[in-house]
């Protein structure tokens, strides 16, 4: 069995990552693993005075470490989390010999705000603290995939089709 790859499905809070991921998973052949990044936040039970940004970096490294192990075992891995493009050099170092595809969803800020407020779980009533975070999801190497009004299954199918090429591939940083 060969080495799998990691498909990082990313975007700002409220971009629709998990909704698109669920549709995308139905299109991917096996063996396949799915890492929902929000689960990793639960591993940090006491901050010990560390600032949230430190915890965020620890969570990102842990996710990519887990994804690397699964990919090396032959699984394609779909990683669903808000990974800013600025983290890519660290991700590439962690993955080393594993292909990384970086798929960025970036609907408008207004759409992200509405979606975050409408969540059944993890509802965000005040998106204000996430507005600066939203701005981090711009990178000319990786054009955003989803528009404001596209259905998740359409976006997932487009991602699946485009993954056969190099559009999302992260070259060694």
Is the predicted pLDDT of residue 10 greater than 90, yes or no? yes
pLDDT digits 0-9 by tens, 111-150 = 999 998 888 777 888 888 889 888 999 888 888 887 788 9
**Coil, helix or strand for 27?**
helix
Q: Can you give the pLDDT at residue 54?
A: 85
- Give the domains, in start order, of the chain with CATH numbers: 5-162 (3.40.50.300)
Q: Is the Cβ–Cβ distance between 67 and 60 less than 8 Å?
A: no
d(CA 60, CA 95): 12
Mean pLDDT within 9-22: 94
Q: Can you give the pLDDT at residue 154?
A: 94
**Higher pLDDT among residues 2 and 22, named by residue:** 22
C-alpha to C-alpha distances, 59 to 1, 13, 17, 81, 101, nearest whole angstrom: 28, 16, 17, 10, 19
pLDDT digits 0-9 by tens, 22-77 = 999 999 999 999 999 989 988 888 878 777 788 889 999 999 999 999 999 999 99
d(CA 8, CA 21): 10
Q: Can you give the pLDDT at residue 172?
A: 67
Give me the residue label for tokens 């005075």: 49
Is the predicted pLDDT of residue 1 greater than 70, yes or no? no
């Amino acid at each position: 069995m060969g080495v799998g790859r990691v498909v990082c499905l990313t975007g700002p809070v409220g971009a629709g990552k998990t909704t698109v991921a669920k549709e995308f998973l139905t299109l991917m052949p096996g063996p396949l693993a799915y890492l929902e990044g929000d689960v990793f936040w639960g591993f940090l039970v006491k901050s010990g005075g560390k600032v949230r940004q430190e915890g965020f970096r620890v969570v990102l490294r842990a996710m990519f470490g887990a994804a690397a192990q699964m990919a090396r075992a032959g699984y394609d891995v779909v990683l669903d989390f808000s990974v800013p493009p600025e983290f890519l050099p660290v991700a590439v170092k962690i993955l080393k010999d594993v292909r990384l595809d970086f798929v960025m969803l970036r609907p408008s800020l207004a759409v992200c705000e509405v979606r975050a407020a409408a969540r059944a779980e993890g509802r965000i009533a005040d998106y204000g603290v996430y507005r600066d975070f939203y701005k981090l999801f711009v990178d000319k190497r990786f054009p955003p995939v989803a528009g404001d009004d596209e259905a998740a299954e359409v976006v997932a199918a487009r991602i699946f089709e485009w993954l056969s090429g190099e559009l999302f591939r992260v070259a060694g940083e």
